[in-house]
Structure formats: C-alpha cells, structure tokens
A and B are shown apart, each in its own frame.
Chain A
Amino acid sequence: MEEKPAEKKPANRKMLYAVVAVIVVAIIVIGAAAVILTAPPKKYQIELWFNSSGHYGDTENNLATVLKNSIESCGKVQVTLKSEIWANYRQDRNQGKLPFFLLGWYPDYSDTDDYVAPFLASSGSPSFGSFYSNASVDQWVLQEQSSTSATVRADAFTKLQNQLAKDVPYIPLFSGYSETAYVSGMKNVTLHPIMFKLFIISKPNSAEFNMSTTDSITSLDPALAYDYFSIELVNQIFDTLVTYEPVTSKLMPSLATSVPTVGNGISADGKNYTYVLKPGLKFSDGSALNATVVKRSMDRTIRINDAGGAAFLLWDTGALGRDQNNGNNTPVGAIEVAPDDLTITFHLQRPIAFFNDIIAFSVSSIVPWNYDQSKAQTDAVGSVVGSGPYRLTGYVPNQQFVLQKNSLYNTPTLYQSFGIPAIPVAAKVTINRRDSSTALAQDLKVTPKLADIVYRTLTPEDLATLQTQKATLGLTVDIATSPFIRYLVFNVKPNNPVAITDVRVRQAIAYSVDRAVIDRDVFASNVEPLYSLVPPGFSFSSSYSQPVFQTQYGDARCASANAIWNQLGFAASFASRELMARADRSLAIATETGIST
C-alpha cells in the first residue's frame, strides 16, 4: 500500500517567505541608501580659458591648472580648461565668446584710476571681455577722474571697490613680481615700480656694464613704443617734462621746473595744466628743446596715431582731443605756448586728475624738431635722438643695444638729493638679447660672466636656481612686487549665451579661489596675493587700496561656496559636505589661532 506523502506545514512556509521578503527589502533599502549617499553630486560646468602662447610667460598653463583644482576642490564645479594663441584670445574675448578667463594688466600711468576705470566703466569693460555695466559705477569713475581732492577720490575708490566685490565681474588674484640678478657690488640696482633706471646703475671699478634680457622692442619712437622694453629704452634715451623719483613712483620735475599742482600750474577746475621748462634745454644732437618743440612733439604723436601705439592715451584718456579739421593734431588752442617759449599749457576737454602721470609716460617723451612728422622714425643709430641720459650708439636688430652717455644731458644732477651726484652713472651700457630664461641664467653662470646684470624675464625655476647658487656665483638676486596684476574675468554681458550672469555663481567661485596655493605651487612664493584690483604696495595706490575680496570672500572657503551652490541646486553629497565642513572649521580655527599664515 502506497504511503501518502506528508503535508508541509503552511506556517513554516509563510515564515520563510516573510524572512526572504525582509532580507530583499533590506537589501534594496541599503542599496538605494548607498547609491543616494555616495552618488557623485551634480556639478556646475564652467570653461576656464587662458593664453597658450606665452603672452604672460611660461607659467600660464600651471596657473590655469592650479585654479581649476582649487575651484573644483569644493566638489561642486567641473572646470574645463581651454586655451588659445594671443591673436585668437583677444578676438574671442572682445566678441564675448569667452565665459571665464585669465588676464593681466600693467598700468600705463601711475594712478589708482588706471586700475579701476578701464575695468569697471561701461566704456572700458568690453575691451576686457567682461562687458560689465553699472550706472552708479560710471558716476563714481567720473568723480575720481575729475577731482583732485584726495577725500573725494578716496570716497569714490571705496565705493568702486565695494561694488566690485559685490558684483564680481573680476576676481583679483595676485600682484606680479619683477626680478633681477646681478654681480654683487653693483650699485643702485633698483626694481622701480614704473621704470628700470639703467642710468643710475654702476659697476665697481668700471665705467660700463653688460645687461642681458629676453625682452625685444617694437620701436624706439615714443609715438609708437607701447610694449615694456621699447618703453624702457625710450626712458633711457628720451626725457619727459616730469619723471619719477629713483626709488618710488612719486613725480618730480625733469625738463620742467616743477610738477604742477592745483593753484600752481593746475587750474581750479582741473582742466588746464601749465608746465614751465628749464632754460637752455638741448637734445643730444645739439638742437634746441623748448615749448614749441614740446607742442610739435605732442601733436606729432597724436597725428601719427600709429597702429599699436599709445597716442590715444594723450588725445582720448588724457582728453587733449584729436581734430580732423586741424590735420589730426590736437584741436586749435588745446596746447598753448605762451607767454614765452618756456611755458606750455595743456587745455583738456575734461578734468583729468592724473594728467601729470600721462605726461611722465614714455608716449609724452619729447622728440626733436626734425623727427619724421608723418611716420615712425627709423630705429637706427643717428636717427634715434632724444634728450635723455643716454644716446643710442649701437644697434644690432634683435641682438644688441649699446647706450652711451649723452654729454648734453640737461639734468645730470636730477637725483643729487637722493645721493646720486650725476647721471648717467655708467658711461656705457651694452644690452644683449637672449631668447630664453635659461640663457639669461647661463650668462651669469659661465666664466667669465657674459652679463653683469640680467633683467626680465627669469622663470620661477631659474630664479630659484640662481637664488640657491648666488653665494657660489657671487650674485645678488632681487625680487620686488611689480605694478602688474593678474585676475580672472567673468563675461557678464546680458543675453550672451556663454556669459555668467548669475552673480551667485561668480561669488561662489570667488570663495573657492586659493591664492596661497597659486603663490606656492606656480610662482615659488614670489607673488603677493591680491584682494582688490588696486594693488596696495605703491605710493600712488596704497591709500586707496582696500582688500575687499579678503574681507568678503577670503581663500578656499568651500563651506561658503557650497552654501551658494546648494541654493543653486548643486547640493553636495553627504560625504563631501562633511569633509568640506571639517576643512572649513579647521581653517577657521587655524586662522583664529594664528597657525595659518
């Protein structure tokens, strides 16, 4: 007889199903939680552009990479680096095609205005690619430009810098540096903020010295010279009505008897500047230099108005004007020679507080009566004639410049009160051009040395090497803050598809930037972090500069940045939130206790 199989117990089966169901549900819940908690957060995408062809030196790639890393380190932004050669970069920038990019600025004249107006005024910002426009800002720019009152200007500059920090069309990064290395014992090697004065330098027991540089020139005609080294050489060969003291950027008279001030050369409305020339002035060829020659020289520069030149600083920025009906010279009566041939008055179309600084710039250098009146003077020995401390006596294009003492120099005692009895100090300077920083360093390493001094531009690596070896090589290495500044630009043009018009995005990125890392990793600790477009380290700007980005954004403050990103819908993951909060707490404690520098 067949046995009936035993029935399974329904209760046990149900229990088994329940356990399995619980386990499955638990696995799903844990898995989902793990996915949610560990999922990479949605990131804000942004392109950071930089110049790839060395316009700002060999460090640009590293700088862009460090910036990318510091912005991405907060966890909420994905930065894509893009680069172009300079011609393309300029074009795309002006056409508003770049959303976020690196730029640099070297001022044309030593006034705080040159760090503010071109960047923030509606008329100037398109040329920086930011397209920033704010009616109040335009008004404040006009105030600081047209007033000679330090109080009025300070008030305007304060408002401008505060608005800059609020709207963030630019993020100041750092002040550049200038560097020189020279044979120990050379005297008066000064890294002047405006010009490198070769005519005050001397080498012990020698009437001459050799310098090497990587810089080249575009022209030695002051009407055209608008690049660093052309301007440097123009400043050695030509003279201006007013110039700078040997160490600071304070103005002092040169061809003129005094620097005009309000009530003593500057009219009360700030529109008329009168300069009185010293009597008996001469150019190095013996021809006369008087007020009529000064007027002719200024008109020549404005009339030629050459491509790439700086003439517009006189007729546009300097408000002298350019009149087509007057042969493209200044308008009739704009420059007046009266009552005698030693007195010249510039009648400006609007008040310009910094006109003296424009007159000290190389574009205002005075050229002789017989200079070519329709085009650039040829760069050749005998053709280049100025009234500065040196004459050009040797020129091998792209290789060598030889400067020798101008025996007819008008003001050899210019710096007597500064302990320099007569200039030029050295009778002869030979400048050799090299094509790389390595070559500059080699000029100081070989025996015998091929240069007594090297100036511009040593890479951070070569500079560090020379600093390490300076005792062995018998060198002195000087580094000083330069008026050159570097900054990031946001395109804020309305209705532009690539523009970053949401100010919160710009503010969040301003929180993320880490200037200390840039200084350490890219520039071997040689640059100064910058927290305003106005650098603090110069006599013309120190009283106006305010570190608005330091007080408002600081460096690498990811918690603050991420609070904004959260508002914008880029919520941080649990893990990254925790890490960022801890990092920010640590930074705050370190700052408060003075551990952080």
Chain B
Amino acid sequence: MAIGRSLLAYAITRAALAVPMLLILLTAVFFVLRVLPGDPVLALWGGREPPPDVVEAARVQLGLDKPPILQYVDYMSRFFRGDFGLSIGVTYVGRPVIGEIMNRLPATVELSIGAMFVATTVGLLTGVVGGARRDTKLDVAIRLYGTIIWVIPIFWLGILFQIVFAIWLGWFPPHGRWQGTDYPRTVTGMYTVDSLLEGNLDHFATAVRHLVLPWLTLGLVLGGFFTKTVRANMIRTMMADYTEATRARGVPGRQVVTRHAFKNALVPVITVLGLQFAILFAGAVLTEKTFSIDGIGLLLLQSVDSKDMTMIQGVIVIYATIIVVISLVIDILGAVIDPRIRL
C-alpha cells in the first residue's frame, strides 16, 4: 500500500508540474511570434495590395489591431474554454484552428504510432542481438547498420523506397493516404482504425498498404538510435555482476540474455523513449512531406510561411501536450520498473 501511494503521489506531482510547463510554453510562443518580424495581414494577399482600408479592416477582423497583452488575455481566456481561435494565415484564414488540427492529427498519430512500433521492434532486436554477440561479425554488421541508418536523411530513404517498392516493384502506393473516392467512414480519422471499426478488411488493407513505406522510412531511421542504445546497455548488463552470478549458477545463455540482461538494459531505453517521441514528430514532418500525408507537421510548415500565429500556437500546444503526456506515462512506467526513481 505504501508503494502504491508513493507512486500515485509521484504521478500526481508530475502531472501537476506539466500544466504550468505547458502554459509557460504557450505564453513564450505567443509573445515570441509577436516580437518576430512579419505581417500576417499583408501576407493574406498574394501579389496585389488591396486599398489600405481593406488591409486595416482585415487587421480588425482578425483581432490583430489590439495591443499584444490584450490579445494574450483574449487568447488565453478562449484557450481555457477549448477554443484555439481562428486561423489568420493566407491558406486557412477564418477557419477554426482546432478544426484544421483535428483534421490532420489522426494522420500524424497513425504515422507516428506505426513508425515507433517499427523503430522499437527493429531497434530492440538488432540491439539485443548485437549486444549479446559482442564483437562477432554480426555485431559489427549491426553496429554499421545502426550508424548508417541513423544518419540517413529521412526524405532520401523515403524517395529510395518509393522508387524501389512503388515504381519498380509496384508493391505499395508511392504516397498519399488513400486511393479512389471510397474513403472509410470517419470515426477517428485514422483510416486503419476506421476501416476496422466498419469491419471492412479491404479498406484496412488499403490503409495499411499506403502506410507501409512511411512507417518503414521513419521507423528505420529512428530505430538506428535504439539499435545503438540497446546494444550499449546490453553490453553493460551482460558484464554486470548479477549477470555473471546468474551464469555461475548455470542458467543457460539464452535465459541470461532474455530474462536478466535484456530487462535491465531496457530501463534507460524507456527513459529516452519520451525524448524519441519529440524526434519522431520532427521526423514525421519530413515523412509527411515526402509521402504527401497531410498531417500537422505540414500544417505547421505552411503556417510558419504565412506567419499564421494562431495556427502555429495551436499546433505547438498539441505537439507539446502529446509529448508531455507521453513523457508522463514513461516517467510513471520508469517509476514502476525502478522504484528508486520515485525517491
């Protein structure tokens, strides 16, 4: 019971700290965007400049005529009511920010979850094998693979996959999330999940076929980090006293690796998993661009160009919230695995 209460207190403390962190981030982003040069109102019109009173009317319409502090108070009061405001950028002007984000978030989540699955699976397998068979030819090959795959530019690997698996072999579609006009009925916005919810396996197969190359591209590149980290931790745990003691007791080699060394090697890996999600989202932007997946990464890129401040704030808040929540879960998981963390 004491341990349970301690874990609960730890989780509550971490969650409570996350809220002010998000608010500080949002405040910083809000004011930095307004300090930076660039006029989103002028950027609304492509080549021609409308009469000055039209520009000023647009400024009033978008609420940019008020002092920044009043804009901030207004923004935060709406933010706490779940209203992220309206877009002020040329592409989405006047549309609700949350609507545009929610339209695209499922694509990013679907991409990220699959890619993280590929990254951890490939990374763990290669890392464990490399660490357990240290300095063998296989280990050298895995080390080489881990280094090369980690430094390969995502867009380059993506284009390579597109050429080989889509254009030459024709196994997978080269890009996009769907082909044809018969889209799955929208429930979550994730086509894989929505296909399963409507019980349509053909739809599910179509959705997965479109995701295989993006998942592999992003997952393999991220997996390079896991390969190297898990291998290093495996070597450390394989040389630890308790592993030696296990071996001395006559436990078979495979059991030593899977039941003792691997479990202990995972602790630091889980700790860095949260950080990897931040890198994953950065990589997702490039993957979305390469594979024409309209996720929130692309939305952020478009918004920066037109200085769509409300949209940038909205996307960053969503990114930050996701990363904070994942970090929180991982911290709690780490605390469960290793009680010393709670101390």
Segment from A13-21, A88-96, A257-265 that makes contact with B: A88-96
Q: Are A312 and B166 in contact (CB under 8 A)?
A: no
B304 near A: Cβ within 8 Å?
A: yes
The verdict on A316 contacting B50 (CB below 8 Å), with A307-B61, A442-B166 known, is yes
Which chain A residue shows the least CB distance to B91?
Answer: A218
Q: Are A54 and B50 in contact (CB under 8 A)?
A: no
- Choice from B91, B167, B289 contacting A445 with Cβ under 8 Å: B167
**Least Cβ–Cβ distance between B158 and chain A, in angstroms:** 10
A439 near B: Cβ within 8 Å?
A: yes
Q: Are A87 and B307 in contact (CB under 8 A)?
A: yes
Q: Are B177 and A90 in contact (CB under 8 A)?
A: no
**Least Cβ–Cβ distance between B195 and chain A, in angstroms:** 15
Q: Are A434 and B176 in contact (CB under 8 A)?
A: yes
Q: Which residues of chain B have C-beta atoms less than 8 A from A396's C-beta?
A: 178, 183
**Least Cβ–Cβ distance between A73 and chain B, in angstroms:** 30
B194 near A: Cβ within 8 Å?
A: no
Q: Which residues of chain B have C-beta atoms less than 8 A from A442's C-beta?
A: 162, 166-167, 174-175
Q: Which residues of chain A have C-beta atoms less than 8 A from B37's C-beta?
A: 88, 91-92
Q: Which residues of chain B have C-beta atoms less than 8 A from A398's C-beta?
A: 103-104, 294
Complex CA gap A402/B182 in Å reads: 11
Q: Are B174 and A55 in contact (CB under 8 A)?
A: no
Which chain A residue shows the least CB distance to B49?
Answer: A127
Counting chain A CB atoms within 10 Å of each CB, which of B41, B43, B289, B298 scores highest? B43
Which chain A residue shows the least CB distance to B294?
Answer: A398
Q: Are B41 and A307 in contact (CB under 8 A)?
A: yes
Residues 360-400 of chain A, each 1 if its beta carbon lies under 8 Å from chain B, else 0: 00000000000000011000000000000000001011111
Q: Are A86 and B306 in contact (CB under 8 A)?
A: yes
B318 near A: Cβ within 8 Å?
A: no
- Choice from A94, A307, A434, A436 contacting B57 with Cβ under 8 Å: A307
Complex CA gap A486/B216 in Å reads: 41
Q: Are A312 and B47 in contact (CB under 8 A)?
A: no
Q: Are A308 and B90 in contact (CB under 8 A)?
A: yes
Complex CA gap A435/B107 in Å reads: 14
Complex CA gap A446/B166 in Å reads: 7
Q: Are A226 and B294 in contact (CB under 8 A)?
A: no
Q: Are B47 and A105 in contact (CB under 8 A)?
A: yes
A563 near B: Cβ within 8 Å?
A: no
B292 near A: Cβ within 8 Å?
A: yes
Q: Which residues of chain A have C-beta atoms less than 8 A from B75's C-beta?
A: none
Q: Are A312 and B104 in contact (CB under 8 A)?
A: no
Instruction: Tell me the count of chain B residues lying within 8 A, CB to CB, of chain A.
Output: 53
Q: Which residues of chain A have C-beta atoms less than 8 A from B179's C-beta?
A: 450
B105 near A: Cβ within 8 Å?
A: no
Q: Are A376 and B94 in contact (CB under 8 A)?
A: yes
Q: Are B44 and A434 in contact (CB under 8 A)?
A: no
B314 near A: Cβ within 8 Å?
A: no
Q: Which residues of chain B have C-beta atoms less than 8 A from A305's C-beta?
A: 54, 57
Q: Which residues of chain B have C-beta atoms less than 8 A from A432's C-beta?
A: 176
Q: Which residues of chain B have C-beta atoms less than 8 A from A53's C-beta?
A: 304-305
Q: Are B45 and A226 in contact (CB under 8 A)?
A: yes
A460 near B: Cβ within 8 Å?
A: no
Give residues 213-256 of A contacting B (CB, 8 Å).
216, 218, 224, 226-227
Q: Are A94 and B49 in contact (CB under 8 A)?
A: yes
A325 near B: Cβ within 8 Å?
A: no
Q: Which residues of chain B have C-beta atoms less than 8 A from A118's C-beta?
A: 48
**Least Cβ–Cβ distance between B185 and chain A, in angstroms:** 12
**Least Cβ–Cβ distance between A141 and chain B, in angstroms:** 15
A104 near B: Cβ within 8 Å?
A: yes
Residues 308-330 of chain A, each 1 if its beta carbon lies under 8 Å from chain B, else 0: 10001000100000000000000
Q: Which residues of chain B have C-beta atoms less than 8 A from A519's C-beta?
A: none
Which chain B residue shows the least CB distance to A445?
Answer: B167
Which chain A residue shows the least CB distance to B42?
Answer: A90
- Choice from B48, B166, B183, B294 contacting A108 with Cβ under 8 Å: B48
Which chain A residue shows the least CB distance to B89?
Answer: A87
- Choice from A87, A312, A397, A436 contacting B40 with Cβ under 8 Å: A87
B51 near A: Cβ within 8 Å?
A: yes
**Least Cβ–Cβ distance between A487 and chain B, in angstroms:** 11
A412 near B: Cβ within 8 Å?
A: no
- Choice from B41, B46, B181 contacting A400 with Cβ under 8 Å: B181
Q: Are A106 and B46 in contact (CB under 8 A)?
A: yes
A152 near B: Cβ within 8 Å?
A: no
Residues 441-457 of chain A, each 1 if its beta carbon lies under 8 Å from chain B, else 0: 01101110010000000
Complex CA gap A376/B179 in Å reads: 30
| B residues lining the A interface (CB < 8 Å) | 37-51, 54, 57-58, 61-62, 90-94, 103-104, 159, 162, 166-167, 170, 173-179, 181, 183, 288-294, 298, 304-307
Known: A84-B38, A226-B45, A435-B288. 16 other contacts (CB 8 A): A85-B38, A85-B304, A87-B42, A91-B39, A92-B37, A108-B48, A305-B57, A308-B44, A308-B93, A312-B50, A396-B183, A400-B181, A434-B175, A436-B292, A438-B159, A442-B174
Pull 16 A–B residue pairs with CB atoms less than 8 Å apart, ordered by A: A88-B307, A90-B38, A90-B43, A91-B37, A124-B49, A127-B49, A218-B91, A227-B46, A307-B44, A307-B58, A316-B50, A394-B181, A398-B103, A435-B292, A445-B167, A450-B173
- Would you list the 3 A-B pairs with minimal beta carbon distance, nearest first? A127-B49, A307-B58, A87-B307
| A residues lining the B interface (CB < 8 Å) | 53-55, 84-88, 90-92, 94, 103-106, 108, 118, 124, 126-128, 216, 218, 224, 226-227, 305-308, 312, 316, 375-376, 394, 396-400, 402, 430, 432-436, 438-439, 442-443, 445-447, 450
